[in-house]
Structure 1
Amino acid sequence: MASVHLTRAIRASTSCLRHELRRVTLSYNNASVSSRSTYATVAATGETKPKKRAYKKKTDSAAPSVKLSPEDIAASYKESTNNFTELPPDEEWKTAFPTVREHAQRVAVRSPEVAKQLAESIAPEGSKDLIIIEASPGPGLLSRALLNLPKERVKKLILLDSSPIFLPYLKPLESLDSRVSVFPYDAFNWATYKKIKDEKALDEVETCDDWSQVHPQLRFTMTMSANVHGEQMASQLIRAVSDRQWLFQYGRVPLNLILQARMYDRLKAEPETSNRCKVSVMAQCNATLTELVPYDDLQPYHEKFHPARVGHASTARHTELDARRVSSPLVAIQCIPKEKPVIAPGDLDFWDYCVRKLFVQKATPLSKSITALGPGANNLLKTLEAIESPNYVDTSKASRALDLQDWSRVVNTFKEWPFRPTDLSIDNLFMRRKHD
């Protein structure tokens, strides 16, 4: 009976069906997580409960609107997904994981082949006893691919996701595999990582103060949202390297990020290119960036990722406007912290201030834009233009043409300037994602 109702609903209003699906998903989630107090707390406090929205019901002369009961929908999906232990068939993802407002910018791996390829790259042959944090895993296709690797490669898998739509497909993994720990926390909130540490999820992670080697255990993987929060998060994660903040307190932890190709183009942009910006400079100072898997293997978007929006998908690089859409091309990258970051510990504020100020006039020669650093900053030119100075820079270059060595010399000169501004702060240096 449930399947009959579901068929009728598909023919009816799509917006109405999505409304009902959201209701039942929240209902099912509250019931499925009641065995664990942290899940119960999330459900009780309503931290992840979406706001109610008004939907207009549309009529269809061929098929009148049908209102399904939560029991009908739950029964239908219970049959097709085996109590949410297994993911729905590919053709059901659009219905099982609706793109409601709260998840409009969420992206998840949908292709089993891509998930397997990513898993092999994150924990390649020869890996042993890795502790992997997967942030924003969505329904968990990549998570399952990691668990399907030879067991000696992955010792522990920590999943962070606060979505009531995806949690019912993540929580069963805990009972299926003792290596899995699921936490219903927002991966875009910096406090989340302190929480999992306080809950002893990272007790088995070694602290490696010797940065001559990449951390032997810990790996971080995250699928970035297709909006400004995703871009900010990627940038801020890499910024944390220089002062050994966040997970870098444990050592040189590799970051595996799935993000929009547009963002990667900015991160890796070379001097004198149009994409060169503050993000490029800060990222390249702290980490070495490479593609985790070939770009072409992740295309076309609508065949590899969810949500699939065929009308916007393409294997080609998009225009600036297209690149901001959820369905624009994605790339998987690996960020390896540098053994000796260009930004020295304690100097992040100086770098952030100088790079931010000078990129306001990124096409202007440094000899003219230097005044942006503060009143009297033109006096810094005496040092920067002195050929015998260790901080010599060709000041005829524009900000976007400066390489990392040039930037290091500019920042050092500014740092030694006795009349530099005292307030170098930036609002929301580590930003917390704001919920609607």
Structure 2
Amino acid sequence: MMRSSPLFRSLSPLISTDLWPTVYKGSRARGQIRVSVMSVDTANLAAAAMKFKDHPTRSVLEIFPGPGQWTRSMYLAGAKKIVTVENSDAYQSSLKKLEEESKGVIKNYNLSPLADPFEDLLGPKFNAIPDLKMQEWDNIQSEVVLVGTIPNSTLGEKCLHEFLAASIEKMGIFQYGRVEMYMFLYKDAAKRLLAPPGTPARNRISVLAEAAADMTQIMRPGAMHFHLPYDYELLRIVPHKVPKLSVSMEVLDFCLRSLFTNKSNPLNK
């Protein structure tokens, strides 16, 4: 079956944003402050930043999609396939509706994004993107992009840490190549990720991020565009062709614990 052109795609809107605080009360469940893109305009701008018209064969792996506002916008923008990973009961009904209306272009898996689900998703167990092929690391992977709205919690930051580490070791989704990421992060988490040497915000994940990837700030639309109303920022994260540090993560973690006796030096000094 031919893939539908973005010009002819349509999906019903999600429920009115006025109802989100009532319907999605579970956003703070289990210590995770779950934040989702609520504004249609912000979702559309984030989808447009991914330039699906220039990448007509590109699929999406989306973690923590919430009700699916950004998911819907990526579908309308022309993503070939969108695989969402969401295990919160609060969002299953909304994602199921998107799945049905998209005729399978959108497919949700009720799995924990924190449990490294990609081996099962992309392997023979689920074969979620059946035509995905491994590509050389020299170029950005053209067939898949990883996106997400990371919880404002220590678990969310741990998830991001694991993606950066996996990109250095070419594990998980990064076995398929140099997969770029678009991540909405709470402003303080983004600040730590981007913190230069010698600044108070710099920490272990700042150094890991510098070692692993180039990062670009795409937008910071304001708290009113999200539910819950936290000030989130969209970053584009592209793994380096050659990581600035080439050691095992066990060694790197040990070094990072020691490194912060002196925060003032750049990574390559």
Is the counterpart of residue 147 in structure 1 residue 75 in structure 2?
Answer: yes
Q: 1:285 maps to which residue?
A: 211
- Using the TM superposition, give the Cα deviation of residue 117 of structure 1 relative to its aligned residue in structure 2, in angstroms: 0.2
Helix, strand or coil: the match of 1:205? coil
Among 180, 198, 201, the alignment partner of 1:272 is 198
Aligned equivalents of 1:126 and 1:343: distance in 2? Answer: 32
Among 232, 235, 248, the alignment partner of 1:347 is 248
Aligned equivalents of 1:231 and 1:130: distance in 2? Answer: 26
The one-character-per-residue Cα deviations of 1:191-222 (angstroms, maximum 9, x if unpaired) are x22221221113311101x2221111110001
Aligned equivalents of 1:100 and 1:334: distance in 2? Answer: 25
Provide closer, same or farther for how the CA distance between residues 180 and 204 of structure 1 changes in structure 2, counting only shifts above 3 A.
Answer: same
Aligned equivalents of 2:28 and 2:186: distance in 1? Answer: 20
Q: 1:306 maps to which residue?
A: 227
For 2:241, the aligned partner's letter is E
The one-character-per-residue Cα deviations of 1:377-432 (angstroms, maximum 9, x if unpaired) are xxxxxxxxxxxxxxxxxxxxxx21121212xxxxxxxxxxxxxxxxxxxxxxxxxx
The one-character-per-residue Cα deviations of 1:81-116 (angstroms, maximum 9, x if unpaired) are xxxx64211211111111465266110011000000
For 1:171, the aligned partner's letter is K
The one-character-per-residue Cα deviations of 1:252-311 (angstroms, maximum 9, x if unpaired) are 0001111111111111111111122221111101100111x232xx11x0x200023xxx
Moved over 4 A (4+): none
Q: 1:251 maps to which residue?
A: 177
Q: 2:265 maps to which residue?
A: 402
Matches for 1:326-337 after TM superposition, within 5 Å: 327=230, 329-337=231-239
Among 193, 215, 223, the alignment partner of 2:118 is 193
For 1:259, the aligned partner's letter is L
Q: 1:174 maps to which residue?
A: 99
Q: Is the 8 A contact 2:28 2:34 kept in 1?
A: no
Aligned equivalents of 2:243 and 2:197: distance in 1? Answer: 18
The one-character-per-residue Cα deviations of 1:206-252 (angstroms, maximum 9, x if unpaired) are 101x2221111110001111111111111221111111011110000
Aligned equivalents of 1:113 and 1:255: distance in 2? Answer: 20
Q: Which blocks of at least 5 consecutive residues in structure 1 are unaligned?
A: 1-84, 309-326, 363-398, 407-436
Identity of aligned residues (%): 22
Aligned equivalents of 1:201 and 1:135: distance in 2? Answer: 14
Helix, strand or coil: the match of 1:122? coil
Helix, strand or coil: the match of 1:113? helix
- Using the TM superposition, give the Cα deviation of residue 139 of structure 1 relative to its aligned residue in structure 2, in angstroms: 0.5
Aligned equivalents of 1:128 and 1:101: distance in 2? Answer: 36
Q: 2:23 maps to which residue?
A: 96
Q: 1:420 maps to which residue?
A: none
Q: Is the 8 A contact 1:123 1:130 kept in 2?
A: no
Is the counterpart of residue 135 in structure 1 residue 63 in structure 2?
Answer: yes
If asked which structure has higher relative contact order (CA below 8 Å, sep 6+), I would say 2
Provide closer, same or farther for how the CA distance between residues 340 and 100 of structure 1 changes in structure 2, counting only shifts above 3 A.
Answer: closer
TM-score normalised to structure 1 length: 0.56
Aligned equivalents of 1:246 and 1:125: distance in 2? Answer: 27
Point out the structure with max Rg over C-alpha. 1
Aligned equivalents of 2:241 and 2:132: distance in 1? Answer: 19
Aligned equivalents of 1:331 and 1:348: distance in 2? Answer: 27
- Using the TM superposition, give the Cα deviation of residue 124 of structure 1 relative to its aligned residue in structure 2, in angstroms: 4.4
Considering only aligned residues, what root-mean-square deviation do their CA atoms show, in Å? Answer: 1.8
Q: Is the 8 A contact 1:88 1:96 kept in 2?
A: no
Matches for 1:101-120 after TM superposition, within 5 Å: 101-102=28-29, 105-120=33-48
Aligned equivalents of 2:28 and 2:72: distance in 1? Answer: 27
Helix, strand or coil: the match of 2:242? coil
Q: 1:365 maps to which residue?
A: none
* Number of residue pairs the alignment of both structures matches: 255
TM-score normalised to structure 2 length: 0.89
- Using the TM superposition, give the Cα deviation of residue 171 of structure 1 relative to its aligned residue in structure 2, in angstroms: 1.0
Is the counterpart of residue 206 in structure 1 residue 133 in structure 2?
Answer: yes
Q: Which blocks of at least 5 consecutive residues in structure 2 are unaligned?
A: 1-11
Matches for 1:52-63 after TM superposition, within 5 Å: none
